[in-house]
Amino acid sequence: MIPVRTWVQGARPRTLAAAVSPIVVGTALARGEVMWNRAALALIVSISLQVAVNYSNDYSDGVRGTDSDRIGPIRLVAGELASASAVKRAAFLSFLVAGVGGLFLASMTSWWLVAIGFGAMLSAWTYTGGKRPYGYAGYGEISVFIFFGLVATMGTYYVQTLTLTWESLVVALPIGFLSCAILAINNIRDRAKDSVVGKHTLAVRLGDRGSRNFFFALLLAAHLCALLTLTPWALLTLAVLPLTLRLGKSVRQGADGFSLIPLLAKTGQLQLLFAGLLAVALWLS
């Protein structure tokens, strides 16, 4: 019997900020039209998809043999903590939870959400799964930006208001950039070993210095995009600028290996704090 704690660690909870933040911001943008039952369903779908992605990556990388001798969170398959079939079932169960939640949302709003949800699940699985995983070609950040930035934030707003606005796009941009930053720092940590096993992530393609500058650029882009909301309350997001600058400085100065693990956690914390402040700004505007 695999301990529950092991499954929780395998789900990589430090990455869940990318799932929670877009729901917080999308709901705040809805303001007086908030429907808490739909917001809760959107949160369930988002978290379930993030967990599904993490289990899927663990399974696919484990069976390919590209996830051994790694720094960072435990690997269930590569670390022989769980069988490949068990991790695959956990991924599919997470997909099932997301799918059921998505069907409820679609029945309340639009059946087009089914197609979008299917696209999100397919993207989650083929990130490292299938014959040609796009994560191995350096396109992971694009997918994260689309699904955990634009789709999750704008989708949360849509299911509560049944409309999409330019403002919903604007507030989705910083969330997408910060979600990409979580993946970017994760790939910086694994860059050297990924290059050896043939995983040409964006960090591998950009090289050490380029990938570190890219990470910092993502953080700064989030702050700049928040100011595009054209409300003075958006200045609240600058309260986390010192944390942003410290993170950027640490990564750009060459933090690597185990020293990047707490920085990954702080990147997730930064996204949650940023999303919370942006949500407050939207409520007050």
Q: Quick check: 221 pLDDT over 90?
A: yes
- What whole-number distance in Å separates Cα of residue 57 and Cα of residue 277? 31
Q: Where are the domains of the chain?
A: 4-284
Residue 14's pLDDT band, with cuts at 50, 70 and 90, is confident
pTM of the full structure: 0.94
Q: What is the pLDDT of residue 120?
A: 96
Q: Which residue has the tokens 């634009």?
A: 150
Distance from the first to the final alpha carbon of the chain: 51
> What would the two tokens of residue 117 be?
């949800």
> What would the two tokens of residue 245 be?
């600058």
Q: What is the pLDDT of residue 220?
A: 97
Q: Quick check: 32 pLDDT over 90?
A: no
More confident: 40 or 285 = 40
Dihedral (Cα; 32, 99, 176, 263), 10-degree rounding: 110
